[in-house]
Amino acid sequence: MSPARSAQRNIRDVVFVDGVRTPFGKAGEKGIYAGTRADDLVVKCIRELMRRNPSLPADRVDEVAIAATTQTGDQGLTIGRTAALLAGLPRTVPGFAIDRMCAGAMTAVTTTASGIGFGAYDVVIAGGVEHMGNHPMGAGADPNPRFMSERLVDPAALNMGNTAENLHDRFPAITKERTDAYAAGSQAKLAAAYSNGQIQHDLVPVATIKPGQGWALHTTDEPPRPGTTVEDLAGLRTPFRAHGRVTAGNAAGLNDGATAAVLASADAAEELGLPVKMRLVSYAFAGVEPEVMGIGPVPATEKALRNAGLGIEDIGLFEINEAFAVQVLSFLDHFGIADDDPRVNRYGGAIAVGHPLASSGVRLMNQLARQFEEDPSVRYGITTMCIGLGMGATVIWENPHHAEYESFATDQATTATTEGAAA
């Protein structure tokens, strides 16, 4: 037998070391990032990660994976590699681009984490960017006519707002009143998190320049509307359907922003003196009917829980991307979780802070990591999101501040040692 076939290979623990993001902006000519390049936003995040983690030598970064939904212009040219070069990482550091629409950054994390677990990498940078002002969703896309001619999907599947209205049809108990109440709650929770200083640490200040206006430094998110009430939301128009239920107030907006995170093997993190904010437990992706894509987090979460040997009752914190309030509520109803359960989106969500598509997965992870630190009583948490064209994604994480975390790590090390000795 060849050495490659006979060699023992142990799956390694993967840890979330650190994550940052730019403030999120509103897409369009009046937004804070109008005239700013998408790749420059990613570069800001990578440079900040390296600055915050001085014990990480740049040449120890084994891969840079950056996601973008629209991979053209300033989001094209293999953005993971170009961002690595622009950020000043050594030319020996490779990079690639990835696309899974809204779950781009989440997929960048899980893909590179798999490489760490397998032993191909020790340390990686993974994240995402979406400049929806430069690249409106769907701009330049050319859907295959077979989608329509052969009725492979409902035409509504190609418009995310319509899929949200379809969810309302499927789950009539989720009324507009409920979604508006949830949306107002998201705004209030984000405002409280800002007031408590729970958001600012994750943000990378971004300086921009506009003709006739000069330079500006952006240190906070642009989309939030603190003080929003249910009464404010009740009268908003329903652009996707006459007398519908989905509005600009109970859905995420069109946004610009970037995120990035450092992941490492547990051994490499210990060797380099890097912090451990979370341990990856399990992840899963699932497909659903494209016309009700918002239900995707349900089967993805069920699959991730099965893979981890956990139940929904084991999850102490939920970071659910709020593409639409109806999508979040359909998830909560499925698992028997109350609309205002304190475990869910403690800092608010995308309805308030924004959803720059491919970047959002790492924002969820940043917020979960901070909540783990604040609440050591929680052992497991999840980050989950729906994905365009009918998918869902879920990642389960373990809290290193929990009392039983060390015993788990010790058990794993003992098992690996025992197996090695037996071999």
pLDDT digits (tens, 9 = 90+) for 16-69: 999 999 999 999 999 999 999 999 999 999 999 999 999 999 999 999 999 999
Residues in the chain: 423
Q: Which domains does the chain have, with CATH numbers?
A: 11-135+152-413 (3.40.47.10)
Active site residues: 102, 355, 386
- Residue 139: predicted pLDDT: 83
For 402-422, b/e burial (b = at least 16 CB within 10 A) is beebeebbeeeeeeeeeeeee
> Residue 414 — pLDDT band, cuts 50, 70, 90?
very low
> Residue 138 — pLDDT band, cuts 50, 70, 90?
confident
Report the run of H or E that residue 232 belongs to, with start and end. helix 230-234
Q: Are 90 and 123 contacting, i.e. CB atoms less than 8 angstroms apart?
A: no
pLDDT at 92 over 70: yes
- Residue 5: predicted pLDDT: 57
Span 109-121, mean pLDDT?
98
- Residue 236: predicted pLDDT: 96
- Residue 423: predicted pLDDT: 42
Span 218-237, mean pLDDT?
97
Residue 256 — φ and ψ, nearest 5°? Answer: -120, 140
Alpha-carbon distance of 276 to 17, in angstroms, equals 5
Residues 6+ apart with CB under 8 A from 141: none
Alpha-carbon distance of 343 to 350, in angstroms, equals 16
- Residue 140: predicted pLDDT: 85
Q: What is the 3-state secondary structure (H, E, C) of 313-366?
A: HHEEEEEECCCEHHHHHHHHHHCCCCCCCCCECCCCCHHHHCCCHHHHHHHHHH
pLDDT digits (tens, 9 = 90+) for 183-221: 999 999 999 999 999 999 999 999 999 888 899 999 999
- Residue 6: predicted pLDDT: 47
The count of C-alpha atoms lying within 13 angstroms of the C-alpha of 175, restricted to the half-sphere facing its C-beta, is 5
Alpha-carbon distance of 250 to 278, in angstroms, equals 30
Amino acid in position 406:
E
DSSP states of 138-183: TTT----THHHHTTSS-GGGGSHHHHHHHHHHH-TTS-HHHHHHHH
- Residue 155: predicted pLDDT: 78
pLDDT at 417 over 50: no
Span 167-193, mean pLDDT?
97
- Residue 202: predicted pLDDT: 97
- Residue 420: predicted pLDDT: 44
Amino acid in position 263:
L
